[in-house]
Amino acid sequence: MQFALLGNDPLALPLIQALARHATHRLVRLVGPRTSWNDSWKLPPTATSVGTWEELLIDQAIDVVVVASQSEQWQPVVRQLVQADKGVIVLPSLAQSIPFFYELALVASEHPGKIFPLLTWRSHPLVVRLLEFLSTDNQKSVRHVQVDCRPVHESTPARVGLMTASDIEKALVMDVDLLRRLFGTYDQVTASRSGSDAAGYSLATVMLAGRSVPQVVWTATAGEGAVANPEWTLTVAAEDRGAVLEGSSERGFSRLTLSMAGESTVIEAAQLDSGMDLLEQMTAPEGGTWWHELARAVELVEAVERSVRRRRAIDVHFETPSERGLFKTQMTAVGCSLLMLTLGAVVLYLVLAATVEMPQLMKKILVGLTFLPLGAFLILQLLVFVARPAARDNR
């Protein structure tokens, strides 16, 4: 496959460096001048620069576009690239806003295998090593899991050293996916924050729970150091063993400490090691299943806001986003609205009939107009018996 690169977010760095070493896949286009990327990206000299992303829409040489940016201004670009039959690799934070995520879900159902979330930590060698350490039998003895992080945030005069809700969610979506990769399915969220959205947050806590999985306490703290040196630590405490995974949301994992029988083993790995395996998995035929993994993470992160607002635990019932499912939801809302409107129209008709003398023909016309919208809506529901179901469960 031939790739194009748009943006310079460090999360895409392992993937691009892996492209430089791969025997088959190649990076051939850059959107913008080459000076937009420093030497650590190791861009191949054969990669040519194009002035605008629109040129990629008609470039027949491009198979996949890596959108290495978290700015929401690139959301419509992602949609147009997919509709132009280009594969698109996106950062999870770019696709996590609920309206855009469900819009992408519909686009993904029409263009299967074209959207890949850049879940960079799933294939990291330290994560694989931790998975081996926490085998199925040993996972049952895990007492608790704790994640401490300092999300990247931009300080302003009004929010010195404070996080926004968006900062917290961007940091959480990757961590939730990693926790699901390590331990399994979480379906209950309890969240709290210290501060306000207007002034900013200094502390955010999220507790994740589920059946047959250890409870997780995720904590994000704000501070001036988070701007220049974001840190991240995962602590796993079991009955006879423990593990500490350390790293940075910008640079990836750097060290894994495994403790067992009173002895500790320290394993260090560079963030670059994850790139090649990540590239192979994302370009494999089953790589499209990663979209559904992101869907689970997005739904859990979305439940955080509801938990903060309602001040209670939120149970998440996962359902694969699909055009058919969204249609049913919309039709349910329309049906409820029509019932209320019809009830109001009936009351209005009875008041008019009791106070104003009307010809019989006029009464029949008013009755017909009152129940016509609801009747038409009910008749449309019969289409569900003749409509062809989706060919796949995820469509």
pLDDT over 90 for what percent of the chain?
23
Question: Residue 23: which pLDDT band, with cuts at 50, 70 and 90?
Answer: confident
Residue extents of the structural domains in the chain: 2-118, 122-272+282-315, 323-385
Q: Residues near 379 by Cβ (< 8 Å), separated by ≥ 6?
A: none
Please report the pLDDT score of residue 296 as a whole number: 86
Judge whether residue 290 has pLDDT over 90.
no
Other CB atoms within 10 Å distance of the CB of residue 330: 10
Residue 277 tokens read as 């395996």
Cα distances (angstroms) measured from residue 141 to each of 242, 261, 350: 10, 15, 68
Q: What integer best gives the mean pLDDT of the chain?
A: 82
CATH class of 122-272+282-315: alpha beta
- In this predicted structure, the answer to whether residue 286 has a pLDDT above a threshold of 60 is no
* C-alpha span between 216 and 213 (Å, rounded): 9
Non-local (6+) Cβ contacts of 66 within 8 A are 3, 4, 5, 6, 7, 12, 15, 16, 89, 118
Q: Report pLDDT digits (tens) over 315-354.
A: 887 555 555 666 677 777 788 888 888 888 888 888 888 8
Q: Do domains 2-118 and 122-272+282-315 have the same CATH topology?
A: no
Residue at token pair 């051939």: 28
Nearest to 288 by CA among 17, 82, 24: 82
pLDDT single digits (tens) 223-252: 654 444 558 899 999 888 889 999 875 557
CA distance 388 to 224: 56
**Cα–Cα distance between 118 and 263 in angstroms, integer?**
35
Query: How many residues would you count in the chain?
Result: 395
Question: Do the beta carbons of residue 69 and residue 6 sit within 8 Å?
Answer: yes
Rounded to an integer, what distance in angstroms lies between the CA atom of residue 194 and that of residue 174? Answer: 22
Is 2-118 in CATH node 3.40.50.720?
yes
How many C-beta neighbours within 10 Å does residue 33 have? 9
Taking only the tens place, the pLDDT of each residue in 174-226 is 899 999 999 989 999 999 998 887 778 889 999 999 988 999 999 998 865 44
Evaluate whether 197 touches 216 at the Cβ level (below 8 Å).
no
Of the candidate ranges 10-19, 152-161, 209-218, 361-370, the one whose mean pLDDT is the lowest: 152-161
Write out pLDDT tens, residues 93-140.
888 787 888 888 788 777 777 888 888 788 788 888 888 888 766 666
**Dihedral sign computed on CA atoms, order 128, 148, 304, 82:** negative
* Burial track 96-128 (b if 16+ CB lie within 10 A, e otherwise): bbeebbbbbbebbbebeebbbbbbbbbbbebbb
Q: What is the mean pLDDT of residues 4-28?
A: 89
Q: Which of 18-22, 318-322, 353-357 has the lowest mean pLDDT?
A: 318-322
Strand-pair category, 115-117 with 314-315:
unpaired
CB 90 within 8 A of CB 106: no
User: Residues 53-81: pLDDT tens digits?
Assistant: 999 999 999 999 999 998 888 988 998 99
